Structure 1
């Protein structure tokens, strides 16, 4: 019998996506020292909102990734709501990320891409 999985999403910038590619789309790179948590989100709408409103504005490009994780493993993490009804995420301690990656089932997929428009000049 196949283990049950939960679909999660992660908004990433181009640098993080390059690191995911180096891991053959099978895991997320280690967190930086100033990043104590890894934050996968529970729905595509929230991941898209972060990508458009944060990653594109900050980096000029953003990607929404989708992946599956063994549901039984995820039960150790409480779902955190950080705003409105769609703003649910998990707070995975940075030192747990290697174990988290081992519970990803299949590959991480890029399902959406957003870029700043070339003609977007701003108001000055």
Structure 2
């Protein structure tokens, strides 16, 4: 039996459109100034980023939820970005295609801001 880990990712409307274009199966490539893809380990942390960063930057923010193969994630450690409640995986941009292949099922939108 394959083990999976549930993760979340805050996104803005442009990134969500690209995710939808993939039929909710993968995250788009990173931009040149974005060397790391960082899915987070808690819904609350993702919601805070979507609300506090994505909404001011683009007018709306979304929390996506998805499952990733634990075997794939075993290659990375959980990083803390300012505190224990701010945990995330740091996936190098050039490994994002492998990350996308490790997603089990679909990427789901579980919250949108503003409401």
Shift of 1:74: 0.0
Ranges in structure 1 where 5+ consecutive residues have no aligned partner: 118-124
Other-structure match for 1:67: 66
For the pair 1:29 / 2:25, whether they are aligned, the reply is no
Bigger Cα Rg: 1
1:100-119 correspondence runs (5 A): 100-115=99-114
Other-structure match for 2:88: 89
Q: Secondary structure at the match of 1:34?
A: coil
Q: Deviations over 1:27-59 (max 9, x none)?
A: 100001111010100000000010111001111
Aligned residues: 115
Instruction: Tell me, in whole angstroms, the C-alpha distance in 1 between the residues paired with 2:100 and 2:34.
Output: 17
Other-structure match for 2:6: 7
Instruction: Tell me, in whole angstroms, the C-alpha distance in 1 between the residues paired with 2:76 and 2:93.
Output: 13
Shift of 1:85: 2.2
Instruction: Tell me, in whole angstroms, the C-alpha distance in 1 between the residues paired with 2:97 and 2:59.
Output: 29
Instruction: Tell me, in whole angstroms, the C-alpha distance in 1 between the residues paired with 2:3 and 2:94.
Output: 24
Shift of 1:84: 2.3
Instruction: Tell me, in whole angstroms, the C-alpha distance in 2 between the residues paired with 1:49 and 1:112.
Output: 11
TM-score by length of 2: 0.97
TM-score by length of 1: 0.90
Instruction: Tell me, in whole angstroms, the C-alpha distance in 2 between the residues paired with 1:86 and 1:46.
Output: 7
Backbone CA RMSD of aligned residues: 0.9
